[in-house]
Amino acid sequence: MQPMTVLTAALLTAVLTTAPATAVTVVDIRVAGDNEVTFVNAAPGLLESDVALRAFRPTVWTLQADAPGEAFAFNGLVDVFTGVTLGQGLKTLVLEWGGVRLLSVGSVTPAFSTVIQSTLVPGRLTLRFSDAGEFLSVGLGSVTGGEDFRFAFGANETEARLTLRAFAVPEPAAWALMIAGFGLVGAALRRRGPALRGARG
């Protein structure tokens, strides 16, 4: 696994030099593999960030608030087309958070596919796309005209983390291996069946 690359807020955004005391700061961004954060805008009450997927690896934003309980909106664009291996669509997108609570779920807008399943549990939202996956992009929040995700720092928290994880549609070779594996397991169970019945008889 490639080492995680640390991109500091100083390199990605010139924000908060004149922001009021209620600003949310991007402390750093960690990008695994060859993924690239192509845009960041951290303003009072708002975090906007775009990610170009070049590998199905996580992207982590570390955020800091000047005061506990600060609320902010989040939106961004996940670009699948420019870098992901040809033939691999985006099947699952997972947004995780820690140190903040989710106030409201924002819009999710894939360019060509559809969201077929959305699962929300504390600290995590899992989105699954239609069988072929998404090959172009997925808009999160108002970046494509919808509603932003809204978060708030905990009552005693001033540091938080957002993590975006992406998973590919298995390639044909991977599907073949999985099907072959299921076949082997089924054959083994069928062979064990008569032996077990004989032992019990």
In this structure, the answer to whether residues 81 and 40 fall within a common structural domain is yes
21: left (phi over 0), alpha (psi -120 to 50) or beta: alpha
In this structure, the answer to whether residues 42 and 76 fall within a common structural domain is yes
In this structure, the answer to whether residues 37 and 57 fall within a common structural domain is yes
Q: Is 73 exposed, middle or buried (0-12, 13-18, 19+ CB in 10 A)?
A: buried
Interval 9-55: pLDDT, tens: 333 333 333 444 467 899 999 988 788 999 999 888 999 999 998 87
In this structure, the answer to whether residues 193 and 134 fall within a common structural domain is no
* Number of domains making up the chain: 2
Q: Confidence class of residue 8 from pLDDT cuts 50, 70 and 90?
A: very low
The stretch 73-78 carries a mean pLDDT of 96
Cα gap 138→70, rounded to integer Å: 27
Range of the domain at 15: 5-169
In this structure, the answer to whether residues 165 and 191 fall within a common structural domain is no
Residues with Cβ within 8 Å of 66's Cβ and at least 6 positions away in sequence, in order, are 21, 22, 23, 25, 158
In this structure, the answer to whether residues 33 and 93 fall within a common structural domain is yes
Using CA atoms, how far residue 179 sits from 61, 90, 185, in Å, is 37, 21, 10
Q: Pick the more confident residue, 23 or 3.
A: 23
- Using DSSP's 3-state secondary structure scheme, residue 173 falls into helix
133: left (phi over 0), alpha (psi -120 to 50) or beta: left
In this structure, the answer to whether residues 127 and 175 fall within a common structural domain is no
In this structure, the answer to whether residues 145 and 86 fall within a common structural domain is yes
Alpha helices in the chain (DSSP H): 9-12, 172-200
In this structure, the answer to whether residues 52 and 115 fall within a common structural domain is yes
In this structure, the answer to whether residues 111 and 180 fall within a common structural domain is no
